[in-house]
Structure 1
Amino acid sequence: MAHWLFKTEPDAFGIDDLVSRPEQSEFWDGVRNYQARNFLRDEVAVGDDVLLYHSSCKNVGIAGLATVVASASADPTQFDPESKYFDPKSSPDLPRWFGVKIRHVETFPEVLSLKRIKTMPGVVNLPLVKKGHRLSIMPVGDDEFDVLVAAARASDVD
């Protein structure tokens, strides 16, 4: 089992939206970066943990935990001309973009802020805290995952 961090903008889709869905699950669509797509298509697997990270908002940071419940399949938004994620170069026979289905596991008491994450000695290898790493999906090491989840569950989150 692997661990991942998925970034999302909560005004478009956040952890509360995931909780409100039937079965508290949703297909993770709209990824339009080739490296992030490759993670989804080739590495993210059923049973993997997902840290849901809210970005481009007032409270930037890790908001909760999800799990992958369905492996990669073609992102249907790439075929819909009405979608902002439409890709005219994609076809059902040769899709370019993929997504996975995730299910809500836990909403943390407060968002574990990026500011705090950057000060945590146990997460120095996390791409999120390195300059120039802006991927919407990134791997998280076992030890880093444990440190982040423990901090997010603690009552002194800032």
Structure 2
Amino acid sequence: MKQYWLVKQEPDAYSWEQFLKDKKTDWTGVRNFQARNNLRAMKKGDQALYYHSNTGKEIVGVAEVSREAFPDPTATEAGWDCVELKPVKTLKRTVPLETIKTDKILKETALIKQSRLSVMPLTPAQFARALELGK
């Protein structure tokens, strides 16, 4: 059964536009145990909303897990994993944090309840609502 996720990235560090140019990326550098466990739970074919944090604070696109969890090559100690993601589509309209906070479905996401978490699960309804708002 397909699962849905939200991944956060500062656009100054790795923007959606760069991700589109690269056509895929290893989602490395996660050093939070809960986020790491979420990476480990991702399966090939799962979809993730791509959220620009700090600057922009908005959902900008949809990515897909193209390779399941494997050791993070940027980690200096064992036990940290990453996944490979590929871009699927750019949203026609971004979904800003202000909208997420006030939407009856999206305000229940971990993005609002655990704002420091960089990789988080979404319910199918939350994923569908974000796509609906993003057209």
Q: Same fold (TM over 0.5)?
A: yes
| Alignment RMSD (CA, Å) | 1.1
AA in 2 matched with 1:65: V
TM-score (norm 1): 0.81
Spell out, residue by residue over 1:56-89, the C-alpha distance to the aligned partner (whole angstroms, 9 max, x if none): 11x21101000000000001011xxxxxxxx2xx
Spell out, residue by residue over 1:135-155, the C-alpha distance to the aligned partner (whole angstroms, 9 max, x if none): 0001000111111111011xx
Instruction: Show the counterpart of 1:47.
Output: 45
Query: How far 1:124 sits from its partner (Å)?
Result: 3.4
- % identical aligned pairs: 36
Contact in 2 for aligned 1:67/1:105 (Cα 8 Å): yes
Could you tell me how far apart the structure 2 residues matched to 1:35 and 1:117 are?
Answer: 22
Secondary structure at 1:39 match in 2: helix
Could you tell me how far apart the structure 2 residues matched to 1:118 and 1:124 are?
Answer: 5
Secondary structure at 1:76 match in 2: coil
**Where does 1:14-93 land on structure 2 (aligned, <5 Å)?**
14-21=15-22, 24-41=23-40, 43-57=41-55, 59-78=56-75, 87=76, 90=77
Secondary structure at 1:10 match in 2: coil
Which has the larger Rg? 1
Runs of 4 or more consecutive aligned structure 1 residues displaced over 6 Å after TM superposition:
none
Contact in 2 for aligned 1:60/1:111 (Cα 8 Å): no
Total equivalences in the alignment: 134
Contact in 1 for aligned 2:100/2:107 (Cα 8 Å): no
Tell me, which stretches of 5 or more residues in structure 2 are unaligned?
none
Instruction: Show the counterpart of 1:5.
Output: 6
Q: 1:135 aligned to 107, 112, 117, which one?
A: 117
